[in-house]
Every structure is written in C-alpha cells, then in structure tokens.
Structure 1
Amino acid sequence: MSKNVIETVTFKLNNGVRREDFIAAARGMSSWIKTRPGFICRRLSCTEDGTWIEHVQWENMDAAKTAAAEIGTAPENTAFLSAINGPTIQLTHSELEVALN
C-alpha cells in the first residue's frame, strides 16, 4: 500500500501582485485541483517575509506528479500561475509519515 504524498511548494510573488488578488486567483483554481484524481486537501499560507507555502496532500506519488505536470494546461490556473515569480519556486514531494487532525 502506498503512502499519501505531501507536495510542498514555496515561492514569492511577482512584483506588483497584490496579496488579495493572489488569494482570489488561488481560490479560482480550486475547482481544477479538487477534481484531480488522488487529491485529498490543500493549504496555502504566507510567511512574514512574503514567502508563500502551499501544501497539497495526494493519495500517492503518481497522483501528485500527474497533477504537477498538468497544472499549466488548465485555463482556470492562469491567474494563479502568472502571479508567481518562477525562479523562486521550490517544489518537493514527500511521503506522509505522521498526521494529526
């Protein structure tokens, strides 16, 4: 049995992108991400220095990698993706070992 996978993405926004506009764009892609096979949950937060952290929980590594490969193909994700400063993106996938709800 495969373990759930946590996709962690850290990034900064492009200059001039307003926080509230980015949050609206992040909500705008919710319909896409919720329909991806293997999706469990998503959280998006921001540190004091403006680094955004997105955690997405997937049923397995295949689901995580498939969604990551397809994210740029959906028109509803354009506003979200275009707000992100590409060179600042760091993406990792890790197996979930302990969870407390």
Structure 2
Amino acid sequence: MSKHVIETVIFKLNEGVSREEFAEAAQAMSSFVTAQPGFIARRLSCGENGEWIEHIEWADMNAAKAAASKIGSVESNRPFLSAINGPTVTMRHTELEVAIN
C-alpha cells in the first residue's frame, strides 16, 4: 500500500496582488482541486513576510502528478496561477509519515 503524498508549494505573490484577492482566487480554485481523483485535503497559509505555503494531501504520487498536469488548462484556475510570482515558487512532494488530526 502506498503512502499518502504531501505536495508543498512555497511562493510569493506578484506585486499589486492583495492577500484578500488571492484568498478569493484560491477559494475559487478549490472546486478543481477537490474534484481531482486522490484528493484528500488542502491548506493554504501566509506568513508575515508574505510567503505563502500550500499543502495538498493526495492518496499517492500518481494522483498528485495527474492533478498537476491539468491545473494550467482550466480557465477558472488562471486568477490563482497568474497571481503567483513564478520565480519564487518551490515545490516538493513527500511521503506522509505521521498525521494527527
């Protein structure tokens, strides 16, 4: 049995994009994310320095990769994606070892 995969994306927003605007765009993109096969949970947070961290839990690596391959082709995801400062993005996929809810 494969372990769940945590997708962690760290980034900053483009100049002029407000925290509130981005949160709305992130919420609008939730219908895409939650509809993807293997989706388990999503959390998005922002630090005082303006750095955002998104964690998405997937059933396995195949689910994470399949969702990533489709994200840019969905029109309703564009406000979210275009608000992100591309050069600041780092993304990792890790296997979940311990979870406490």
How far is 1:69 from its partner? 1.5
**Equivalent residue runs for 1:69-84 within 5 Å:** 69-84=69-84
Give the root-mean-square deviation of aligned CA atoms.
0.5
Amino acid at match of 2:55: H
Q: 1:18 & 1:71 partners in 2: Cα distance?
A: 22
Question: Residue 20 of structure 2 corresponds to which residue in structure 1?
Answer: 20
Normalising by structure 1, we get a TM-score of: 0.98
How far is 1:38 from its partner? 0.2
Tell me the matched-pair count: 101
Percent of aligned pairs sharing the same letter: 62
Q: 2:40 & 2:98 partners in 1: Cα distance?
A: 15
Runs of at least 4 residues of structure 1 off by over 4 A?
A: none
How far is 1:44 from its partner? 0.1
How far is 1:70 from its partner? 1.1
Q: 1:71 & 1:89 partners in 2: Cα distance?
A: 15
Question: Residue 52 of structure 2 corresponds to which residue in structure 1?
Answer: 52
Which ranges of structure 2 fall in alignment gaps of 5 or more residues? Answer: none
Q: 2:38 & 2:76 partners in 1: Cα distance?
A: 19
Normalising by structure 2, we get a TM-score of: 0.98
* 3-state SS of paired residue (2:17): coil
